[in-house]
């Protein structure tokens, strides 16, 4: 069966115009149609490799000897014990954002680093790594693929021929992934992962809460993170409650 049939039918049936659909809701609501359209781990890694490479082509990457790159190296040094093959770089842009893909590709925007301290950036990156470790980014890539297929952005290439996708097709898929929305339950789980990871590494856990408080001061037009990471103040309080409770 062609790649378009099941993904397109699943998306059209579940949520008309599903671009930007909530990852968890679409995953849970899809039933057998979505299951049939689900990409394998190998497929997801292939798409993540291609998507990250395409995003790297479209953005300016901070050189290794830049202040941003050195700061990110310091940030990542406090995020060990993940068991994941992480590859972190900085995009030089005023946008305030960060994301990670299932293949361990981590990208942090310089706008976020300008806005937050290294400890706060570490908390945010830990959160993004949490989405990878907990399988959320795999689901997001599956949904991005389904959405792009339903919108006719991927042509007629079959799943077995993902390497045949054009640069523009991969670009559309990558943009859909980066703009994906996670559920509040997934966000809380990723927050807790970051908190636990910071604990394992003896890092500043309070900085995770302060990062959320700072981002709550921005409106959705200034930070693309805020459109996909709701409830910053509530999330800050959750972290502060964990700190107060010693858990």
Report pLDDT digits (tens) over 184-230: 899 999 999 999 999 999 999 999 999 999 988 875 544 445 544 44
Highest mean pLDDT of the ranges 20-29, 99-108, 225-234:
99-108
What is the pLDDT, as a whole number, of residue 159? Answer: 57
More confident site: 1 or 194: 194
- Which residues share a beta bridge with 61? 91
Q: Which of 24, 54, 120, 128 is catalytic?
A: 128
Measured at the CA of 95, the angle between CA 110 and CA 206, to 5 degrees, comes to 65
The verdict on whether 234 is a catalytic residue reads no
The overall average pLDDT reported for the chain is: 81
Helices (H), the chain: 5-14, 23-29, 31-37, 41-58, 67-77, 110-115, 118-133, 136-150, 167-178, 184-200, 206-215, 224-228, 232-245
pTM: 0.82
Identify the CA nearest to 228 among candidates 97, 56, 54. Answer: 97
Q: Where are the domains of the chain?
A: 5-245
Residue 105 has pLDDT above 90, yes or no: yes
Residue 48 has pLDDT above 90, yes or no: yes
How many angstroms separate the Cα of 79 from the Cα of each of 7, 114, 133, 201? Answer: 36, 20, 13, 6
- Which residues share a beta bridge with 108? 90, 98
């Amino acid at each position: 069966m062609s790649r378009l049939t099941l993904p397109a039918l699943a998306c059209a049936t579940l949520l008309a115009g599903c671009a930007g659909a909530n990852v968890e809701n679409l995953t849970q609501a899809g039933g057998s149609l979505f299951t049939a359209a689900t990409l394998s781990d190998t497929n997801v890694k292939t798409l993540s490799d291609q998507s990250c490479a395409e995003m790297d082509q479209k953005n300016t990457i901070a050189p290794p000897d830049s202040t941003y790159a050195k700061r990110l190296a310091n940030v990542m040094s406090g995020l060990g014990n993940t068991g994941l093959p992480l590859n972190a770089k900085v995009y030089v842009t005023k946008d305030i954002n960060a994301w990670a893909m299932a293949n361990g590709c981590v990208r942090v925007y310089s706008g976020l680093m300008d806005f937050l301290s290294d400890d706060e950036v570490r908390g945010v990156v830990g959160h993004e790594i949490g989405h990878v470790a907990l399988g959320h980014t795999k689901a997001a890539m599956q949904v991005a693929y389904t959405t792009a297929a339903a919108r006719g952005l991927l042509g007629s290439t079959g799943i077995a021929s993902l390497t045949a996708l054009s640069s523009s097709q991969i670009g559309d898929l990558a943009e859909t992934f980066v703009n994906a929305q996670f559920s509040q339950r997934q966000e809380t789980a990723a927050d807790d992962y970051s908190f636990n990871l910071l604990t394992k590494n003896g890092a500043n856990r309070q900085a995770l809460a302060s990062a959320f408080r700072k981002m709550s001061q921005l409106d959705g037009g200034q930070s693309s993170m805020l459109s996909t990471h709701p409830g910053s103040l509530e999330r800050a309080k959750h972290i502060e409650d964990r700190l107060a409770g010693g858990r």
